[in-house]
Amino acid sequence: MIRSMKISFRAHKETIDRLFLCNRVSGEVWNQCLELSKETHLKTGKWITKSELQKQTKGMFPIHSQSVQAVCHKYLFARDATNKARKVGYKNKYPYKQKKYFNTKWANNGFKVFENGKIELSMGIFEGKRQAPLTVWIKEVPVGQIKEIELIFDRQLLLSIAYENNQIIKEHTFENRAAIDVGEVHTIAAVAENGENIILTGRKLRSIHRLRNKRLAELQRKMSKCTKGSKQWIKYNRAKKYVLSKSEKQLQDGLHKTTHQFVNWCVENEVKEVAFGDIDGVQRNTSRCKKKKVRRRTTNQKLSNWSFGKLYAYLKYKLEVEKIKIEKHDENYTTQQCPCCAKKRKVSSRLYKCPCGYSNHRDIHGASNFFAKTFYGEIRELDFNLKQTKYLRIA
C-alpha cells in the first residue's frame, strides 16, 4: 500500500535557495503548460495532447526531466477533471491561473536515498551538462520502498515522501456486518451484528474546530477593515494561514486517533463489512444551523463536509489493511422513525424514547436504523440484541 508522509529536512543554506528555485521553475513549467495549451487551442481548436505537451517542454527547464513531466501531468489531470465535471453540467473553470511556485516532484529515477537519511535530488541534464544534485538530510527514512518525493511548502519547505509500506493484506474469516452513523462533528456511533455497539466522541476535535472558526472569523473581520494587499492585511493573512495549517494538523491527528480506535473495535468484533452513513449526518447539521445566521451555516457545512470526507478516507484505508470492506450509503435513512411501531418522532434529548416502549441512545438508535435500512432494506427491529453501549473518548 502506498502511504505518504510530510517531513522536514536539513540542508545547506545554498541548497535551500536552490530548492526554492526548483519550485519557482516548476511554477514556470506550469505557466508554460497554460501558454502552450492556449496556443494550441487557438490555432487548432483542439486540446494539446500529452505527448505534444511533453515534447514542447522537454529540455526547456533546468530541473530533472521527470520533474517537468510531473507538472505537465498535474496540468493534464486538472484539465481532464474539469472536462469531466463540465460534461455532467458543472461550470468548473479550466486551469488558467499563473503560478509563481509549484511543488517539484522527483520520480523514481530522480532521487537517491541513503540509509543514514541523506537524500540526493537529481537536477538532470540541462543544455548538455549534468547539474549538481541537491543534497538534503532527513532524520528518519520511512520503511519501505520510496516511490516519489515532492517538495512542498507549508510555512517552510518540507518533503512529502510517498512510499510502499509493504503491508500485507490480512486474511481472515470475519462474519459480522456493522453500520456507522456519523453524527455531529466527529462522533461515530456504530452497531455490529454481534450486538456490540460503540460511541466515539470527539470532544477534542470539536473544540479545535470551534477555536479555529473563532480565530478565523476574528482575523477575517480585521482583514475586512483594511485594504486588500496592504501591510497589515498581509500580516493578518499570514496569521490566517498559520491558524489553518496548525489546526489542520491537529484535526488530522485527532481523526487518525479516532479512526484507529474504530478499526480496532471492528477487528475485535470480527467485522467484515462496514456501512457508512453520510448524507444524513450532513443534513442534520444543516437543518440545525438553519436557525442561525446564513453565513455561519455555510462555513459550518463546509467544515463538516471536509471532516466527513477525511473521516471516510482515513477509515477506508485503515480498514482496507484489515481487509474489512467499507461502503458509503447515500440513501436517506431516518433517525426519526421508531423501529418497533414505525411512528416518526423528533428526537430532542440524548435518548430516543417511543410511547410503544422502545428506547435507545439517540446515536445508537440512528446507527441501528441505518443498519436495518442498509442490510434488511427497511427500518425495523434488529435481528440481534444490543449489548451495553461502550463509550470511547478521544483525548
Q: Which residue ranges make up the site for Zn ion (CB under 5 A)?
A: 338, 340-341, 354, 356, 358
- CB 358, min distance to Zn ion, A: 5
The C-alpha cell of 113 is what?
536515498
Q: Give the residue with the Cβ less far from Zn ion, 340 or 351.
A: 340
For Zn ion, the closer CB: 64 or 365: 365
CA distance linking residue 363 with residue 392, whole number of Å: 14
Which residue number, 85 or 356, has a Cβ lying nearer to Zn ion? 356
- Name the amino acid, one letter, at 83: N
Closest contact distance (angstroms) between CB of 343 and Zn ion is 5
Q: How far is the CB of 192 from Zn ion (least distance, A)?
A: 23
- Reference 18, options 129, 156, 121, 127; nearest CA is 121
We find the least distance from the C-beta atom of residue 387 to Zn ion, in angstroms, to be: 21
Q: Are 53 and 72 in contact (CB under 8 A)?
A: yes
- In 3D, which of 261, 272, 252 has the Cα closest to residue 179? 272
| Shortest distance in whole angstroms from residue 339 CB to Zn ion | 8
* SS3 category, 53: helix
Q: Min. distance of Cβ 367 from Zn ion in angstroms?
A: 17
- Could you tell me if 134 and 11 are in contact, meaning their C-beta atoms sit under 8 angstroms apart? yes
Burial 197-232 (b: 16+ CB within 10 A, else e): bbbbbbebbeebbeebbebbeebeeebeeeeeeeee
The residues that bridge with 280 in the sheet, in sequence order, are: none
> Which CB, 149 or 338, lies closer to Zn ion?
338
CB 357 within 8 A of CB 340: yes
Residue among 1 and 342 whose Cβ is closer to Zn ion = 342
Nearer to Zn ion, 89 or 357 (CB): 357
Given the complex with Zn ion, which of 5 and 356 has the nearer CB atom? 356
Reduced 3-state DSSP string for 75-87: HHHHHHHHHHHHH
Give the nearest distance from C-beta 90 to Zn ion in angstroms.
43
In this structure, are residues 61 and 68 in contact, taking their beta carbons and an 8 Å threshold? yes
Minimum separation from the CB atom of position 350 to Zn ion (A): 18
152 CB burial (10 A radius; 0-12, 13-18, 19+): middle
Whose Cβ is closer to Zn ion: residue 217's or residue 342's? Answer: 342
Q: Residue 279: in which H helix or E strand, if any?
A: helix 279-289
Q: In angstroms, what is the minimal distance from the CB of 355 to Zn ion?
A: 7
Instruction: Give CA–CA dist 184/186, Å, rounded.
Output: 6
- Name the residue nearer to Zn ion (CB basis): 266 or 354: 354
What is the rounded distance in angstroms from the CA atom of residue 93 to the CA atom of residue 91?
Answer: 7
* In the complex, least distance from residue 338 CB atom to Zn ion, rounded to whole angstroms: 3
Sequence-separated (6 or more) residues with CB below 8 Å from residue 7: 138, 139, 140, 158, 159, 161
Output 65 or 337, the one with its CB closest to Zn ion: 337
Q: Which residues are within 8 A (CB) of 349 and not within 5 positions of it... i.e. 6 or more apart?
A: 362
Whole-number Å distance between alpha carbons of 373 and 275: 10
